[in-house]
């Protein structure tokens, strides 16, 4: 079972990245370079991005580099890249996640891999964090496949997983800012992150020191994995800086 980092522990922390976010000839991210740096890939499953060829190629690349693969299901909104909220009922959330995870598992089987986890994408991730009923629908899919759920500690992600007996893996983000309540501030368009600042956030966090929100609020974030988004312009430099910190621990 994955161990978490709090103020009193210094366990191994895994580096994950959202990948396979392309359609046809239009691809986003630095997947090839990042695959050499990460431990876990969250692969888009066809709704916000990730057509069959992209999924097949991304899973094959992960298999080649010994990287674990989880499903990264999103909202059915490719124009908005899954970053715009939608009004959904719990049964709809369950269906769209089940559909996408099922598609990815076919490619995993082809390449001799097993599903490692489920981590929702973009607006869906945020919707589940604040809605117990929607999150219960998502967690039921993780339970069906017998895999952990990646999310934010202290939110419905964690609470519902605990109630339903689903393993929960809390994340720390280094290329997104946090609001004063610990909420992620999702950007419609990714912007460059200063690699030195990302490394410093990780250095402080693994030492048990608080992460600063945009207004200076000190946040005590429990985490077992660190996410670096692949579609930021300098994501490879950011991931390299984070990897250096984790290697030096």
- CB-based burial label for 24 (10 Å; 0-12, 13-18, 19+): exposed
Contact 198, 238 (CB under 8 A): yes
Contacts of 47 (CB under 8 A, 6+ apart): 73, 74, 75, 76, 77, 78, 82, 96, 100
From the list 2, 19, 118, the residue with the least C-alpha distance to 63 is: 19
β-pairing, 168-173 with 225-227? parallel
pLDDT for the residue numbered 6: 37
Percent of the chain with pLDDT over 70: 95
Question: CA nearest 98: which of 58, 137, 54?
Answer: 137
> Is the pLDDT score of 9 beyond 60?
no
pLDDT at 203: 94
Give the model confidence (pLDDT) of 25-80 as tens digits.
Answer: 787 778 999 999 999 999 999 999 999 999 999 999 999 999 999 999 999 999 89
Report pLDDT for 10.
43
pTM of the model: 0.91
* Pair of tokens at residue 38: 């990460």
Across the range 13-30, mean pLDDT stands at 88
- Please tell me the predicted confidence (pLDDT) of residue 11: 61
Round the average pLDDT of the chain to a whole number and report it. 91
Report whether pLDDT(164) > 90. yes
d(CA 159, CA 178): 20
pLDDT at 5 over 60: no
Cα–Cα distance, 48 to 81 (Å, whole number) = 5
Contact of 67 with 33, CB cutoff 8 Å: no
pLDDT beyond 70 at 157:
yes
pLDDT at residue 7, rounded to an integer: 32
54-57 contacts, C-beta under 8 A, 24 or more apart: 54/20, 54/22, 54/23, 54/27, 55/20, 55/103, 55/104, 55/107, 56/107, 56/110, 57/20
Average pLDDT estimate for 167-172: 98
- Least confident window among 99-108, 156-165, 230-239: 230-239
Closest CA to 132 of 97, 103, 93: 93
């Amino acid at each position: 079972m994955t161990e978490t980092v709090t103020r009193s522990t210094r366990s191994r922390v895994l580096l994950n990245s959202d990948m396979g976010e392309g359609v046809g000839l239009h691809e986003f991210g630095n997947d090839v370079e990042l695959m050499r740096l990460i431990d876990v890939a969250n692969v888009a499953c066809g709704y916000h991005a990730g057509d069959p060829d992209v999924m097949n190629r991304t899973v094959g690349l992960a298999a080649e580099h010994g990287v674990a693969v989880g499903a990264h299901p999103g909202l059915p909104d490719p124009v908005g890249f899954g970053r715009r909220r939608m009004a959904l009922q719990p049964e709809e959330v369950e269906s769209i996640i089940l559909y996408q995870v099922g598609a990815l598992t076919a490619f995993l089987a082809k390449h001799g891999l097993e599903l490692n986890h489920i981590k929702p994408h973009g607006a869906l991730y945020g919707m589940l964090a604040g809605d117990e009923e929607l999150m219960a629908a998502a967690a039921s899919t993780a339970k069906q496949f017998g895999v952990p759920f990646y999310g934010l500690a202290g939110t419905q992600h964690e609470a519902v997983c605990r109630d339903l007996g689903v393993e929960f893996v809390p994340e720390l983000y280094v290329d997104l800012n946090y609001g004063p309540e610990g909420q992620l501030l999702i950007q419609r368009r990714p912007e460059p992150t200063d690699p030195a600042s990302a490394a410093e956030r990780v250095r402080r966090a693994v030492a048990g020191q608080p992460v600063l929100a945009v207004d200076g609020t000190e946040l005590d974030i429990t985490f077992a994995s660190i996410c670096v988004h692949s579609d930021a312009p300098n994501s490879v430099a950011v991931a390299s800086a984070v990897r250096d910190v984790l290697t030096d621990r």
